[in-house]
Chain A
Amino acid sequence: MATLEIHDLHVTVEADNATKEILKGVDLTVKQGETHAIMGPNGSGKSTLAYSLAGHPKYTITGGSVLLDGEDVLEMSVDERARAGLFLAMQYPVEIPGVSVSNFLRTSATAVRGEAPKLRLWVKEVKEAMQRLNMDPAFAERNVNEGFSGGEKKRHEILQLELLKPKIAILDETDSGLDVDALRIVSEGVNRVRETGEVGTLLITHYTRILRYIKPDFVHVFSDGRIAESGGAELADKLENEGYEAYTAKGGVSA
């Protein structure tokens, strides 16, 4: 069973000619089949955790370890991490001019699967996955993220999640900027992947709204660069009612 183990992770970022510590000792274990929601106020370091796990060059790991099935993730390049089974659905996916969605998806699937998918089966697979996400087939011929609406970008991220079948999926604020219909479609996509039981999900969100569609097994409250409190789904209800004030005011409560 695939397991992502994050131990005492410290991360800094360079900003305004100064080094700032954003993550101050994160401990978290995500197993295949589990869904962990990470919630927290703006600036608490949730997205930094997501991008550090994916290997974004902006972040420097200054301490701790990240293991995927015992393998050192921090030693891997960004593409190696993806091929090892980590997937990051981004909050702000960038435009890639000149590269069509269909070409991108096939190149990516070839890299992650280690061989080119058989063309006929692949076309069918993509078509069906797009239908499930209510995506127009013409979408495949557009350039990656170019001129996509907010909802289209997120659907495109979840389309990749469905096609790449990672061991660990990190969803960075996938719910932000979505109206209720789009949120439902995107959540259904995530749930289809979860129901396979083969993915561990790290759902990063500011709002509890998405948790009505995607039921987490665990909820963690992030505050000031570490996990301040952990609990079950009921913790989300508490946050829904009380907000993050308890965490921001005290600057973190240990779990």
Chain B
Amino acid sequence: MAEVQNIPVGSTTAGSIAVAAESTVATRMSAPPSFDVADFPVPHGREEEWRFTPLERLRGLHDGTAVATGTGVKVDVQAPEGVTVEAVGRDDARLGRAGTPVDRVAAQAYTSFEAAGVITIPKETVLTEPIRVSVHGEGGVRYGHQHIELGAFAEAVVVIDHTGDAVIAANVEYVLGDGAKLTVVSVQDWDDQAVHVAQHSALIGRDATFKSFVVTFGGDLVRLHPRVTYAGPGGEAELFGLYFTDAGQHQEHRLLVDHNTPHCKSNVVYKGALQGEGAHAVWIGDVLIEAKAEGTDTYEMNRNLVLTDGARVDSVPNLEIETGEIVGAGHASATGRFDDEQLFYLMARGIPADEARRLVVRGFFAELVQQIGVEDIQDRLLAKIDEELEASV
């Protein structure tokens, strides 16, 4: 059931559970998925999938006017031994298997990339060190594609780190073989001007486990589509997200978990803190349980903490169930605010105002940060949270 609490002025939290014969998740998109940008009309902003996004700040990624600069964005991959790192052309048969672009910008990225990066972890290879992908912007415009594939029973941690200033539309695919385990951390730590739009598609093999952390701090506009579907029964997906939306920033996370296979699990937890005038976070959580997906167990949750006036949250969980033969399905969304009474209470116990704020926000994010399991990333996130807070108080 949707649970809604303490909604600050200027925010919306809507939720729905639909029991449908036909998926509305699919039908409320303005065009069916396609690899070709020409199949999508240029959005005007009133479409369901675009209505929260300020199109004028996409810097032309949505209407074909953003031209790739060739330079100005550096992509660097560091991988431990045993991992294959390649650059391939668009005719490579491995590409596009995890998912088809669902909106115009994702299709634009697919249509426009020059070479795709492919990282392969061979079957039964268990990595002890993370693979690190660094995407660093130096003012360029880029369309990209990254494909990450794990063979059967392979295990890996991948950190994709976005920094600097760029206008970028780049999709990421994760293909997990049977019994594979992948943890991926995508950090959007952009400079203030950056625009980043991407679709992250995961295809989870039989009995495979996919754990994703999407961490968004920076950028002028970040809009991500983390999507999961299953290639066989027994798959598990944990989708965790953290965002810290500052004054003027637009950060949008649009998730879909498509339970298209029986006996799979998914757990979605996204948490965001917002502060400052014009901070806008959007969270769309779609979970679809198809008629054939008996034995599904799914839960999704979005929590937002509004630290100051002037920030806005739109949080929309949707759960669509086409079969009753499931283990469990639920969703929750709640937006609360850190208010003067809470500040007074903590200060009345001797805690200075800035530390009180830090305590609350760190506490709010702690359970997610601790689960990342990559120490330098965890430390950096906590430091980043402190830095964000210091900038504000």
Residues of A within 8 A of B (CB): 54-57, 77-79, 81-83, 87-88, 90, 93-100, 103-104, 107-108, 111-112, 143-144, 160, 164
Which residue, A55, A96, A103, has most C-beta atoms of chain B within 10 A? A96
Interface residues on B, range: 20 to 34
By a CB distance below 8 angstroms, the chain B residues around A81 are: 348
Are B305 and A104 closer than 8 Å at their CB atoms? no
Interfacial chain B residues near A107, Cβ < 8 Å = 351, 355, 359
Given contacts A78-B344, A94-B342, A94-B345, contact A112 B350 (CB under 8 A): yes
Question: Please, which residues of chain A bring their CB within 8 A of the CB of B348?
Answer: 54-55, 78-79, 81-82, 87-88, 90
Residue of A79, A93, A99, A144 near B352 (CB, 8 A) is: A79
| Among A57, A100, A104: residue with most chain B CB under 10 A | A104
Complex contacts, A100 vs chain B, CB 8 Å: 363
> Does B355 lie within 8 Å of A111, measured CB to CB?
yes
- Any chain A CB within 8 A of the CB of B353? yes
| Residue contact B350 to A111, C-beta cutoff 8 Å | yes
Nearest chain B CB to A153 CB, angstrom units: 11
Which residues of the partner chain A approach B366 to less than 8 Å between Cβ atoms?
98
B360 and A108 within 8 A (CB): no
Bound CA span A4–B305, Å: 38
- Across the interface, do B350 and A164 meet the contact criterion of CB distance under 8 Å? yes
Cβ-defined contact, A94 with B341, below 8 A = yes
Measured CB to CB, the closest approach of chain A to B100, in angstroms, equals: 38
Chain B residues near A160 (CB, 8 Å)? 349
Residues of B within 8 A of A (CB): 305, 336, 340-342, 344-353, 355, 359-361, 363-366
Cβ–Cβ contact B363 & A98, under 8 A = yes
With a cutoff of 8 Å between Cβ atoms, the chain B residues found around residue A97 in the complex are 305, 336, 360, 363-364
| Pairwise interchain contact A79-B351, C-beta atoms closer than 8 A | yes
Contact indicator B345/A108 (Cβ below 8 Å): no
Q: How far is the CA of A97 from the CA of B367 in the complex (A)?
A: 13
> How many contacts A-B (CB < 8 Å)?
79
Residue of B nearest to A95 (CB): B342
| Interface of A (DSSP majority class) | mixed
CA of A100 to CA of B305, assembled, Å:
16
Interface core residue of B336, B349, B365 (most chain A CB under 10 Å): B349
- Give every chain A residue within 8 A of B359 (Cβ-Cβ): 99, 103-104, 107
* Cross-chain contact of B360 among A56, A78, A99, A112 (Cβ < 8 A): A99
B349 in complex: contacting residue of A77, A108, A143, CB < 8 Å: A108
Is A82 a contact partner of B347 (Cβ separation < 8 A)?
yes
Given A107-B355, A111-B355: A96 and B346 within 8 A (CB)?
A: yes
Bound-complex Cα distance A253 to B346 (A): 38
Q: Please, how many angstroms separate the alpha-carbon atoms of A107 and B353 in the complex?
A: 12
List the B residue with the shortest CB-CB distance to A54: B348
Bound-complex Cα distance A183 to B361 (A): 34
A-B contact list, 16 entries, CB within 8 Å: A57-B344, A77-B347, A77-B353, A82-B348, A88-B348, A90-B348, A94-B345, A96-B363, A97-B360, A98-B360, A98-B364, A98-B365, A111-B349, A111-B352, A160-B349, A164-B350
State the Cβ distance, A57 to closest chain B Cβ, in Å: 7
Report how far A81 CA is from B351 CA in the complex, Å.
10
Chain B hits for A143, CB < 8 A: 363
A143–B345 Cα distance when bound, in Å, is 14
A98 and B345 contacting across the interface, CB-CB below 8 Å: no
CA distance A249 to B361 in the complex (A): 50
Question: CA–CA, A77 to B360, complex, Å?
Answer: 20
B305 touches A82 (CB 8 A): no
Pairwise interchain contact B350-A82, C-beta atoms closer than 8 A: yes
User: Which A residues are CB-close (under 8 A) to B353?
Assistant: 77, 79
* Distance to closest chain A CB from B306 (angstroms): 12
Contacting pair A90 B345 (CB below 8 A): yes
Residues of A within 8 A of B365 (CB): 98
